[in-house]
Structure 1
Amino acid sequence: MKILQLRFKNLNSLYGEWFIDFTHPEYLSNGIFALIGPTGAGKSTILDAICLALYGATPRLGRITKSSNEIMSRQTGECYAEVLFETQVGRFRCHWGQHRARKKANGKLAEAKHEISDADTGKAIETKKSLVINVIEEKMGMDFDRFTRSILLAQGGFDTFLKADAEQKSKILEQITGTEIYSSISLYVHQRLRDENEVLNCLQVEVAGINTLDEQQEEYIKQKLNNKEQEALLTETQLKENMKAVTWLKNIDELKKEIKLISNEEESFLSEYEHFSEERERLKKALKASELDGKYALLNEVRNQLAEEQQSLNDEETQLPSLYLDASKKEALLKQAEQKIFEVKNEQKILVPLLQKVRSVDHQITDKMEAIRHCNDACKKISEIILSEEDQLKYYKTNYHLLQQEFNAVETYLHQHQADEWLLSGYAGIETQLERLNTIQHDITGKKTEKQVCISRFDTTKQALKSINEEIKHISQKQSQVEHSIQLKQQELETLLNGRLVREYLAEREALYREMVLLQKISDLESERASLEDGKPCPLCGAKHHPYAMGNIPEKNECEKKIADLSILIEKTNLIVEDLNKQEQIKLKYHNEQVEAEKKQIALSGECQQLEKECSVINTQLSCWIQEYEDVKQSICDKLKPIDNIVELQDFNASELRIRLKERMKNWQKQKQKKEILAQQKNDCESKVKTITAILETHSLSLKEKQVELSKLQVELETLKNERHVLFGVKKADQEEQRLTESLADAELSEKQARTSYISVQQQLRISESRISSLKTQITNKKSVLNKKAYEFKALLAKSLFPDEQVFIDARLSIEARNKLQDKEHELERKRAELEHKKKDREVRLATEVRKSITSLTLDQLESQQKGYDDTFSQLRDNIAELKHQLTENSEARERVKEKDNEIEAQKNECLRWQNLHTLIGSVDGKKYRNFAQGLTFERMVSHANRQLEKMTDRYLLIRDEKEPLALNVIDNYQAGEERSTKNLSGGESFIVSLSLALGLSHMASKNVRVDSLFLDEGFGSLDEEALDIALETLAGLQQEGKLIGVISHVTALKERISSQIQVIPQTGGQSVISGYGCKKVLG
């Protein structure tokens, strides 16, 4: 992590807006700068600005809030701090700002704003104040406390890390070096041990909660059960014998009662049979008379008509005698009706006591039928319960069978996949290896892509090199052609120039031009030539030789010809030279092209060699990764070899294998849990079967008892029905009573009608005279017819053995009376036969029963014994069921204890395994393994610190305390290597040691953070000049590692020793200004 730029406004004494660029070349070249100024000028405010921009807090004031802002410059309305920093993941700009209401100095503080953005794109990453801190910690890899202890060592806290306790040092190292995973592992081991111990405790509690009988108790219960079963067997035998005797005595009593009842019925029947003899004779005569009813009806009809007519005549002739006669008849009818009423009432008087007796028997029959109904209902209810229990028993037996099948299937699966159990403990390691495989596979894929890119680049470069070679060859050919052309031109030029230079020909031509001018002058200065003397200079040209003065003046045409020839030669030469120049330019062009092509050739050749090396390196890395991939894959296959059909080398797929392994592990756990659930369900089902079986036995016995009671009630009911039949047959008492009531009503109605008729006859006496005449004629005619009919009927009477008509009349009965007598006769005959048969049957059965002679006890004695046997047997049966249930539960409890003991033993081994691991690395707060891992990291940091310490002094050497892993001691080489605590160091010694530790931390880089900026606020005042020089040289040497060190101090000596400076200069009114490289005040 490196601070690049800082911008702030209105912080403490630094009024206005300021900008500091830490990337200024002066800082980059020296690697160290001094932030100097007098005490109170505002040096630490610059460091506060960095903290404020990043964390919204300062080491001196803590967090700046809406209610408190002591860092804002007095009498200002706003302040802010903004820092640009760089980490391994990119460059980021973090801004913190706060203002007062309307940005007035006396306004109320508003809520601060805090945000972070990508410095390169300007895109905001987070603008919510509560979340910005988390993003900054994520990007930088450290929180505020770690920042102030590792990068910005604030004023008065330079030796914070040195004086920090083990926990604080651990947190700093965890942030700097990324060892938090070891805390998680340590916590997990501790938690896992606690979980496994809880499982063990639960199993032990479950075992303790299972009650079992000891061998003595179990033997006692078994003996008691055997005794009870023997007693029950004896009691059951006695019960059956007693029931047999009771039934025998009851049968004898019933038979005797029946015989006596039949005898009584016979006596009553004989009286009734003899009483019916007169009625039988009467019935016989009535049946014979009924054969003449038709003829007699016709005769009576004529007689009645004649009588009526005669009566009418008599009435009319002699009113009173006829009326008296008719009145006499009507009176006779009236008496007959009255007699009928008397007879009905007499019959009713006789029937009432019998009806009362019949009703009593009917009531008993109703009670018995109700008892039978209740008994039937009870039997039906018990039968329904038995059917329901049998259904439940069938259900639980079927369910038990299904559960057993499913349990066997689960056991088969667990047996067949026994190797899968290893996954419960080994899957985590396999998963780590699979993740490593995925990482390697990803790296291999990336490397293969990189290799392809490299090969593609190599091929492209090689092709470009080939093209460049061909281009160079083509340029060389063109160069050769141009050189050949130049050579020909040069030969032509040499031939033309004839070994002379062009300038010579030019000079010669110039001379000819001058000569021609001179010739002209000679011609023009003929007089002057006469005055010339040899050896004396010419006044015109200064020559001492005067050839023309002697008379040999050359010809002008010859000179012009020479000039013309020279001009032609020079022109040709110029053309050739111009052509040569063009050819040279072409040659130069080709040369430059060749040079550029050769540069490209060299570059491409070097690039080819570099790419070839890169491909070789990639191939090597790829081979290493492929080999590592194969090794890890082989390791996984070896580990998974016991697991059938899970992986093959030829079709190895890490992602698919992870899914399959996780599925196999889940299936194993699921089947294991399912086995436990099925075992419990199976036990519950088996217990239900036993319980329902016992209940069924009890209900079956109750049903038999109810059925015996029902049979007894049915026998009693049959006896009552027979008695009732003897008393009243099938007739119903209410119907008979109704019949008598209706007969009485009919008789009374007849009596009333007869009385009315008698009155009517009396009335007719007064009106009969008018009919006498017509009646006499009718009577004469009727007598003739009557005599004929009477003769015929008399003949029939004689034939039917009736002496006279009166005997016939007396013998006649109505159809109802005849039917009634016939029915009664048939009933008497049937009843006589039935009584004879019943009496004979009961006497035979009684004799048979008496011969059995089963017991000599009375029925009361037997029934008393029966009740005692029933109570005893019921109690014994309950005792036996209870004892059997105790033994069954004890057996099941022992099986459960055995299973739990096996589980406890296995769990103890598991607990021991985790206990051993816990002893090594486990702890409740995760410190144990973390401190061990960080101890190694701390050892590295101490090693780095010692390297820096050696550069500053040869007196001290840092070592780890043997008792406290994160504590430090120093070896004083000036005191014979004495070891002492860092707590006893002086101020200057503490500063040097703290500085070496800070530099040691800066040397350590991990995946979380790299420390490339270090700010030291004060602490140099405790050093002497030599120590100060050494410390500053050490800090300056860090520039080679790309680090920037800022030293904040008021020590005057620093101004002379550090050339790169930022000065904080106090001004009037409590304000300060900043001066130095990369520092400027931003004008609004």
Structure 2
Amino acid sequence: MKILKLKFKNINSLVGENEIDFTNPVFTNEGLFAITGKTGAGKSSILDAICLALYGRTPRVKITGSENHVLTRGQSDCYAEITFEVGGYLWKSSWKQELTRTGNLKPVSRQIADVRDHIIADQIHSCDTKIIEIIGLTFEQFTKVIMLAQGSFAAFLEAEKNNKGELLEQITGTEIYAEISQKVYERTKSEKEKLEKILIEQGAIKILSSEEIHNYGEQKKGIEHEKKQVEDTINALNEALNWHQSFNELQKQIGNTKEHLPGMKETLNGENQKLENAKKSFSDVKNELITQEPIFKKTRELDVKIEEKLTALKPINNELNTTSIKLENLKLELSKINKQLDESKEIESAIRKWSIENKIYETLNSSYAVIEKDGRTLVEMSHEIQVLKEQKESLENKINTQNEQLTRANENCYSVDSLLSTKISLLSSKKDDLKNVLEGKELSDLQKTKETISELGIELKSLKETEESLRLHKAELDGLDTSIQAGKERLIKLKEREKNRQDAIANYQSKIHLLEENINLTKAFQSLADHRNELEDGKPCPLCGSLEHPFSDGEIPVMGEKEQELHQLKNKLTKLNQESLEVVKSVAKISADLTNSENNRTRVKYLIQQKQESKDGLLSNIKKLDIYHTLPLGNLNPEVLTEILTNLRNQYNKMDARIKKHETETKEINHLRDVEIPNLQKQSEQAKDIQKDLKANIKLTEQTLKDKSDILSQKVLKYSVEDNKLKLELQKYKASNIEELQFRKDEWEKNQNDLKNIREKIDVLKNSISQKEYERETQNKIYEAELKKQQNINTELDKLTMQRQEIFGNKSVEEVESQLKFSLEQCENAKNHIENQVKDIESQINKFEAVLAEKNKELVELQGKKKTDKSTENLDAELLISKSKLHELSQSIGAINQTLETNQENIKSNEKKIKEKEKQQNIYNTWAKLNELIGSSDGKKYRNFAQALTFEHLTHLSNLQLQKMSDRYLLRQTGDVSNPFELSVIDKFQNNEERTAQNLSGGEKFIVSLALALGLASMAGKNMSIDTMFVDEGFGTLDSDYLDIALNTLSNLQNEGKIIGVISHLNELKERIATHIEIIPSGGGHSKIQLTY
């Protein structure tokens, strides 16, 4: 894929329309070009335009339906269009977006067309699909291929071991492997938690035994039988209360009806009197309306005639007003025109006077062109003289500057040579210091020890957290054991108290039964008083046959005391039943609490087991990592672990400091040997060359200064002669310069035009005056004729108005007639209303009398159905006691039903949980196996495996690219399974010496990182060859020699048909790369593109 042409408008800071033709020979001949400019000027905006034209988005800026941050601030539209070649076929792809008049964004417009401009896709989704089909790369793949990741690989080479995997993931875009590893780990953990939750929930389900269910059933039958007896008593009490209520209500209704009847009859008499008055008022108003009808008719006839006269008068009045206004306007216009005529005559006189006084300028038209040409010639000569003076001054300044540069060059030679000697001594000293940093040990051994300490610290920290968690769970288990024991003891006490209470209830029920029988017997004795008087001692009772008659002497038990005692016993029984119900509720609550505590105890024991297993695993790992066997593994409590972790952290920091110091010293030595000292040697040679060049340049500049001085003298003499000649011509026309002469010429021409125009205006004004005089005379005649018509109609109108005043005055016929009709209607409505009220009252009296008779009859019938002699108060009291008892029994039955229903639900829930557990166990087993293979909390397990394969393939592709650039170096992957991302470089020119990537010089790192970037482009591009690429920065750390090597390396890619764009803000690149696109700031946050070559 090769980019041929790029056009874009208003992208970021690049305002206006821009076009870059990559088929121009200035790009294709060299194969290398630079994109230069200050930081923030807009260099990367060219890449944004390419991505927008192809994929409709950019790597840096997000575009949404409501936001577009690539549009240049203050502009209303932007677009990007690219022409490119793939497999010998040409394609054109474009992207465009505009603002509406109100400032809102219009929808994005995208198109893809072939070489014949035939549109093959014009919708966003179809363009996304088609561009991937044509190029063969997604947006993410394309950005990795077209923008070489040289800078990212340079950072990768210098990164620490633990950070390289993450950096390689960012560069290659293989984040998915770490995400998969983490997702598998998290899913496994989640599925395990679900399984544990199901087990805990299953343990919390309580199911009743068969014996408990049978006991609850028997208890329910007894309570239901007792409830049926209470319900029958309540129904009998309700019937008796309903009879009392019906009887009282009938008596009340009869009394109310008797109270209302006299008043209603008195109201009927009053309404009859009102009816007679209303009929008389209606008759009076009706007679008045008949009397006024002839007068209404005559008045209406006069009103019609008056209206006709007024209608005829309106157009005449309008015409008089219009004519009057026209006459007034004509008068004003004539006055204005006469005034204009006088002013125009005065202006004409003044213009003629000026023409006579300035007759000299009449010939200026013919001679002005020649004089003006001479003036321009003098201006050009003056400009040439000024340029020569500036050039002379510039050469004099240049000589002074060159002399100063020569002095500085002499000083620089001495300074560079002194610094070179100092750096050579410093290099020798640093080599001696480096030997003492590692204290005789290998760097790889120190790094391995540091990693072991780090891993040991992580395991110990996890062990500390696990130990603390174990302590908390054990404390929680002890608390639960205490709570369960206390609950069981309280439950036993409640059951013992409930047994005693049930015994008391049975005792009270027995006493109540005996007392009720006693009361009934006493009532029977009292009802047989007459029969007892006939009994005689020694003779048998006719009812029972007894020979003894204990109550015949009048010693019959008193009823009031027995009933009071019965009432007290029933109250105590009710209280005991309520207390018993509360105890049942308490027992149920304590049982539920105990069940929850048992479930929590099971859960905590399970967690303790899990933590103990985790602790054992951690201890096993710690034993493996404790290579020096210095840890007190038998006494690893949290306090000891904290102390050990502190010591390990100190050891790690000391080890890390030594390693970093060695890396720093190595870098400094390499920089001195490979960069600073060679640079200073080259600077010394350059300084001497500069001395020689400056001396030659000073001599050449002095000769150029002499030549320019001679030419300047000749120009000044010629200018003096021509200037005198021009002054004589200007004096002839009384002008000091060409501008004043031009003013005189224009002034004469303006005067002649003004004279012509004012004479034409005077003629027009005279004609206008004649026309306006004629119009005024015509309007006067019209006004007089209309005025006479107006006077005749007004005379007739006065006569008609006088006749109406005599008949009806100023009153309105419609209002008077309407008022009479309204009064008649009101009287009729009042009469009808009163008649209806009389009928209603008579009807109500008849109804009340009928109702009274019916209610009296119902009262007699109700008295014959009397149910009891008890009062309402006694019935209410008995009903309240019975309802309370019924409520208690219903609650007991409800509690038993709820217990049995809950048991059935628990049985179903337990069966469901068994199925859930089996299903979840299978799911967990599957994820646990996958987690064992690739899962980890940090994603490293699968990421390192996948990236090790990716890095191996990348190293192979990078070596292929490296051979094309230089046959000196070869890359080799040197890492192991735990650290697969280490690279070494084999230097074929140095007897195949192998060095780590950390020990490469700046130039060598650039070459290696560029090869890796090209390898990544090849890997990301798959089978698609991208022939237009860009490199962003990375040259700032290179010295002159390595910069040449880097640029030659990039330029050699032209042999493969590639064009490379180097994006940089370094001015030095402008001198080394012939073709460059320069981004130049133009103010206001905008920039422009300039192509130089």
Please say whether Structure 1 and Structure 2 have the same fold, judged by a TM-score greater than 0.5.
no
TM-score, structure 2 normalization: 0.31
Find the structure with the greater CA-based Rg.
Answer: 1
